[in-house]
Amino acid sequence: MPVEALVARAKRLINFFMAPKQSERLEDAQKTLRLPDNNNSSFLAWERLLLIKDAIDIVLATLTVSNALEARKDAKRLKEIQLIENEWDMMRDIVNILEPFFEVTKVLGGSEYATFSYMIPSILELIEKLDCSMEYSDESDYVNFETTDLVFDDNVEFVDAQ
């Protein structure tokens, strides 16, 4: 599944819970599960969506068995936009990939002036995390971050953008 489709589906699911009555239902389900409060950020929204997956399932189950016609309509709509299990799995993978970038952004964005004293260690840590998490099927896929020997390919042509 293309990531763009997953992003669109996740946005629809988030938007469903932006309506006051749906938000209230979700808050009640989160209280039942004793989940912590949420934060603002696109990355955090996806991370939060994963955290509240069980609460969303509770809301769906509650709406589905309700006697109220409006609640059953909401259940039908939520069921249509609810992510399927492999989409949740893909979202977990994407959040795991994005987490180191979020952490670096948080460190660099937290200081009033981004200086090399913050940037270099943060970027090196990011490279280390990415390097350690990669599985290499063959040597041609490997990017060596420890040397600058192959930083620029001699065959690359530069085009004047005028």
Q: Can you give the pLDDT at residue 160?
A: 46
Long-range contact set of residues 35-44: C-beta below 8 Å, sequence gap at least 24 = 41/102, 43/95, 43/98, 43/99, 43/101, 43/102, 44/102
- Pick from 58, 53, 62: which is nearest to 29 by CA? 58
Q: Can you give the pLDDT at residue 27?
A: 86
Residue ranges covered by each domain of the chain? 3-93, 96-136
86 vs 158: CA distance, rounded Å: 42
Give the pLDDT confidence of 17-52 residue by residue, as tens digits: 889 899 899 888 888 887 765 555 778 888 999 999
Give the pLDDT confidence of 89-125 residue by residue, as tens digits: 999 998 998 888 888 877 776 666 666 677 778 778 8
**pLDDT of 138 above 80:** no
Give the pLDDT confidence of 59-94 residue by residue, as tens digits: 999 999 999 999 999 999 999 999 999 999 999 998
Q: Nearest 5 degrees, angle CA 94-CA 97-CA 103?
A: 120
Predicted confidence band at 152 (pLDDT cuts at 50, 70, 90)? very low
CA atoms within 13 A on the CB side of 29: 20
**Rounded to two decimals, what is the model's pTM?**
0.62
